[in-house]
Amino acid sequence: MTDSDTGRLAGLRRLAAHLAPLLQADFALRLWTGETLPLGPSARQDLAIAINSPAAITRLLRRPALRTLIDLLAAGAIDIEGGTLLDLAARRGAASRGFARRIDKALALRALVPFLFASARPAPSDRAGHAYAGRQAARPAEGRDDAALVQFHYDLSNAFYASFLDPEMQYSCAYFPEPDTDLAGAQRAKLDMICRKLRLRPGDRFLDIGCGWGGLVCHAARYYGVQAHGVTLSPAQLEGAQQRIARAGLADRVRVELKDYRALEGEYDRIASIGMFEHVGAANHAAYFTHLHGLLRPRGVMLHHAITRPAKRSARAFRRRRPEYAAVVDYIFPGSELDHIGNTLASIERHGFEVHDVEAWREHYARTTRLWCERLYAARGFAEQEVGAAKTRLWLLYLAGVSLGFERGGIGIFQTVATRRARGASLLPPTRADLYMKPASELV
């Protein structure tokens, strides 16, 4: 070890010792030498932020941005050992307000300046990057390729998704009717709630836009007797859905296709859009609802289920992206944009629908994504074999981050029931009582 290395390590020790009583965290900082520095007076060492290369500190100092940190986490130059971001958040301590003002700036400067001028050559696995490399144009006419955007996210590996999803492969918010409901039970409850909100009846022509691995169309056909049609832009999802339909013996009642929703024709009695609207893009919302209106028969029922962001004081402020939101778009969901519920409802009404019911599921999604993160962490060895260590780290970070976002109210989710507007009665029940009857799947 050179004198320079010794000096840098000594500086980090002094800085960590200074920060620990301010942070009050219950985890540690693990250095590339194996040395562990507590970040709180009584911090345990079973959970740690690992700095696996001094170059990671150099890169963060030279480019102090969230994207830099994410690239370092993906490459393993920085890692979370012994848990996930959820565990760090739970044990982050009780640092007082004004924490930053209490830091000894001179001490921090002396500790970090030696890293600023050190070598920061990236490791070979870090050079390629892990963000979406294609265009993310606003409209198809401007070069937007929805198939490529969707496939970047969904065509990783069906086995990868199966490692953390429930047996029905539901990749959307579950519904927890009881505090102790497990993930599988909550996803079945979600499927039933969707079907009941749609008031599905035997023989209904039912369309699921963005049908995923076919869980909803199969559930609706098996328990509610509908003729179901699902579409997706993911070849991997299509393959999984077709296998599910064959196993269930539902080929005569369920059909799935690799098709853009804009190419759909015909008329349906019921339409579900579950976690698909986020992929449409704000510039295409009007065309989206116009097309769905044309597919739905008069008084037909639509269930719109989508993640949202809170509204801001102005449209301009709402369009401004926070760094963590931009990171999700670039690394996980390219081309995606979240609306706020007020604007979505206005769009639905503006395009010929009558809104009947709006229900917030934010806390349900906080728990869903937390369970997904925990399951993926438990299966991380298998996941790394399927999609690689970098992608697995990114997904653990993403699932934990969105779970905290839902938990703290930074993002939300709503289910909206609407009908295609027609004169006279809507023909929907006058109360919600039918939604809370015993589910059809429990009566069979």
- List pLDDT tens digits, range 341-361: 999 999 999 999 999 999 999
pLDDT tens-digit profile of 259-280?
999 999 999 999 999 999 999 9
Burial 115-130 (b: 16+ CB within 10 A, else e): beebebebeeebeeeb
> Coil, strand or helix: which one is 410?
coil
Q: Is the pLDDT of residue 120 over 80?
A: no
Residue ranges in 379-418 assigned as alpha helix (H): 380-387, 389-408
Beta carbons of 413 and 362 less than 8 angstroms apart? yes
Measuring CA to CA, which residue among 229, 234, 334 is closest to residue 278? 334
- pLDDT score at 2: 67
In the chain the domains, ranked by start, together with CATH numbers, are: 3-126 (no CATH), 140-442 (3.40.50.150)
Note the residue count of the chain: 444
- pLDDT score at 444: 45
Q: Is the pLDDT of residue 441 over 70?
A: no
- pLDDT score at 155: 93
Per-residue pLDDT band for 1 (boundaries 50, 70, 90) equals low
User: What single DSSP character describes residue 339?
Assistant: B
pTM: 0.94
User: What single DSSP character describes residue 255?
Assistant: E
Partners of 296 in the beta sheet? 268
Per-residue pLDDT band for 435 (boundaries 50, 70, 90) equals confident
pLDDT tens-digit profile of 35-74?
999 999 999 999 999 999 999 999 999 999 999 999 999 9
Q: How far is CA 381 from CA 39, 51, 62, 377, 398, in A?
A: 28, 21, 33, 8, 18
Q: Inter-axis angle of helices 183-197 and 215-224, to 10 degrees?
A: 60
Beta carbons of 211 and 154 less than 8 angstroms apart? no
Measuring CA to CA, which residue among 315, 232, 307, 309 is closest to residue 277? 307
- pLDDT score at 6: 86
Selected residue with higher pLDDT from 124 and 388: 388
- pLDDT score at 93: 82
| Main-chain dihedrals φ then ψ at residue 96, nearest 5 degrees | -75, 160
> Coil, strand or helix: which one is 296?
strand
- pLDDT score at 4: 67
- pLDDT score at 127: 42
Q: Is the pLDDT of residue 128 over 50?
A: no
- pLDDT score at 100: 83
Token pair recorded at residue 152: 């970047």
Sign of CA dihedral 287, 292, 293, 295: positive
- pLDDT score at 5: 77
pLDDT tens-digit profile of 177-223?
999 999 999 999 999 999 999 999 999 999 999 999 999 999 999 99
Average pLDDT, the chain: 93
Beta carbons of 244 and 228 less than 8 angstroms apart? no
Q: How many helices (H) and strands (E) does the chain have?
A: 18, 11
Please tell me the distance from the alpha carbon of residue 229 to that of residue 139, in angstroms, as a whole number: 26
Share of the chain above pLDDT 70, in %: 95
Token pair recorded at residue 221: 């056909």
Beta carbons of 317 and 309 less than 8 angstroms apart? no
pLDDT tens-digit profile of 11-31?
999 999 999 999 999 999 999
User: What single DSSP character describes residue 253?
Assistant: T
pLDDT tens-digit profile of 72-98?
999 999 999 999 999 999 999 876 567
